């Protein structure tokens, strides 16, 4: 029997059952469903809606089902309509009419909304731990490479010298913002919809605050019963947070793919976190980074599916909303597996300092510093900019750099140049001189990494 078959006189077609069933994916919320049912039964017993001994029997029966599922003694029936039906049927099989009392003052509408919030709250916590691990690795790599000079880029063109450590902390800051977004999303989903029933609440004298308390919903009950069962903002927001985080991972992946190519040779991936070619033995492919980059599109697809599914729905619950779970579950799973693979890849990759410094030595990354040198001698910046541009043109024509350009040539272009120009345009000086807050100076990298590690805790 379906829970809803009482008013029907004809069995549903097989295709209707198969198409309508959600147990294949909502079964991952079995523990949350049972926990919610235990809290509901306990509350009903405390309010006198159920006899205390009935509530106790129901709670004990639900605990038994949960233990049997965890031990493998009980398997979820793939023919069940959904996880709620499966649990209630098993409880009724064990307790008879007492089990049938569990659904008093409850609907599957508020039940599934509660299950999903509880499940995603746990997932948010797991994601936060994974992100914390990523940030810790980035800070560690930053401290190791606080003085490793590399080219900084704009438009993917060499621009100014920075350090690899400074670059790593740019991603750490992105993931810190992601952590803040997940915490904020978790806070907004921390309200209990139970007691809203189908959409209009119930005439039973229940205690919604007590149910919320038993289930650890710090925000208490959802205030409006219609909103309680029709809201999926918490799924949309979580999917958005995941998409932004996946975008950060995808950008990082793109750089790693570039860096480990022969054209860059800035990093070398550990053998344990890369793969080879079936016909080209010299190849070492950054497959993890490439897959993460690709999976960002998958997460975006999940987010768009959720927004599209919700955009035209009238209040309150509609069957369309069954589509929320596969999309948000997939988005969560995608981010978690990407972080689980990406973090150790970053932790173990070798930083090729010499290659990065050689790249920074080319491309006139110290041209701005040369112009700033002349500004320090009293020239307007635009005048200094033009003179430096002429020097860069001369160096390009004669295959020189600003560090190897003879002093007499400097002075031919401007008599303000002195022997100290060579210190001013040295890469180490260019980096260490940018010591204002947020700059790439090694002491800044060390301080920023320390502040981040302190803020996220051990």
Backbone angles phi and psi of 161, in degrees to 5? -75, 135
Annotated catalytic residue within 218, 261, 277, 435? 277
* Residue of 9, 71, 155, 278 marked active site: 155
| Residue appearing with tokens 């955009």 | 311
What's 51-87 look like in SS3?
CHHHHHHHHHHHHHHHHHHHHCCCCCCCCCCCHHHHH
Q: From 274, 253, 267, 445, select the one nearest 355 (Cα to Cα).
A: 267
CA 117 – CA 435 distance, rounded (Å): 46
Q: Is residue 298 within 8 Å of 330, Cβ to Cβ?
A: yes
d(CA 327, CA 339) in angstroms, rounded, equals 19
CA-CA distance, 233 to 417, in Å (whole number)?
62
Q: Across the strands, what pairs with 285? A: 275
| Host H or E run for residue 162 | strand 157-163
Is residue 277 among the annotated active site residues? yes
127, 183 in Cβ contact below 8 A?
no
- Backbone φ, ψ for residue 84 (5° rounding): -65, -45
- Alpha-carbon Rg for the chain, nearest whole angstrom, is 31
d(CA 198, CA 225): 9
Q: Single out the residue of 248, 222, 274 nearest to residue 116, CA to CA.
A: 222
Residue 238: how many CA atoms within 13 Å on its side-chain side? 31
Cα–Cα–Cα angle for 110, 115, 120, nearest 5°?
130
Distance of CA 246 to the CA centre of its chain: 6
Reported residue count of the chain is: 458
- Catalytic residue ranges: 155, 277
């Amino acid at each position: 029997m379906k829970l809803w078959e009482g008013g029907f006189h004809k069995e549903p077609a097989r295709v209707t059952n198969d198409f309508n069933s959600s147990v294949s994916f909502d079964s991952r919320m079995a523990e949350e469903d049972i926990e919610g049912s235990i809290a509901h039964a306990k509350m009903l017993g405390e309010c006198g809606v159920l006899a205390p001994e009935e509530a106790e029997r129901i709670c004990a029966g639900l605990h038994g089902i949960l233990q049997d599922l965890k031990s493998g003694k009980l398997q979820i029936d793939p023919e069940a309509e959904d996880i709620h039906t499966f649990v209630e049927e098993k409880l009724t099989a064990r307790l008879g009419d007492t089990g049938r009392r569990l659904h008093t003052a409850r609907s599957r509408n508020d039940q599934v909304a509660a299950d999903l919030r509880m499940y995603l709250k746990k997932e948010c916590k797991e994601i936060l731990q994974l992100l914390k691990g990523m940030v810790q690795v980035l800070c560690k790599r930053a401290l190791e490479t606080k003085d490793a000079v590399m080219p900084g880029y704009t438009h993917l063109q060499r621009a100014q010298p920075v350090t690899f450590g400074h670059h790593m902390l740019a991603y750490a800051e992105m993931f810190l913002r992601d952590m803040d977004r997940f915490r904020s999303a978790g806070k907004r989903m921390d309200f209990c919809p139970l007691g809203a029933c189908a959409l209009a609440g119930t005439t039973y004298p229940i205690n919604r605050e007590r149910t919320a308390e038993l289930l650890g919903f710090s925000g208490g009950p959802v205030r409006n019963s219609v909103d309680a069962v029709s809201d999926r903002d918490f799924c949309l927001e979580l999917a958005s947070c995941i998409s932004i985080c996946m975008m950060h991972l995808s950008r990082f992946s793109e750089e790693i793919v570039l860096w480990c190519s022969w054209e860059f040779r800035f990093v070398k991936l550990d053998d344990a976190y890369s793969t080879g070619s079936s016909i080209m033995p010299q190849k070492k492919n950054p497959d993890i980074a490439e897959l993460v980059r690709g999976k960002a599109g998958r997460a975006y697809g999940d987010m768009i599916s959720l927004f599209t599914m919700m955009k035209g729905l009238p209040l309150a619950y509609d069957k369309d909303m069954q589509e929320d779970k596969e999309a948000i579950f997939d988005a969560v799973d995608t981010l978690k597996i990407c972080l689980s693979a990406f973090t150790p890849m970053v932790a173990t990759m070798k930083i090729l300092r010499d290659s990065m410094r050689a790249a920074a030595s080319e491309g006139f990354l110290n041209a701005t510093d040369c112009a700033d040198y002349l500004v320090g001698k009293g020239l307007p910046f635009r005048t200094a900019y033009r003179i430096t541009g002429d020097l860069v043109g001369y160096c390009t024509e004669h295959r020189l750099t600003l560090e190897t350009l003879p002093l007499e040539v400097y002075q031919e272009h401007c008599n303000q140049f002195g022997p100290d120009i060579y210190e001013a345009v040295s890469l180490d000086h260019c980096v260490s001189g940018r010591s204002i807050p947020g700059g790439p100076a090694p002491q800044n990298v060390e301080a920023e990494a320390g502040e981040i590690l302190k803020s996220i805790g051990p």
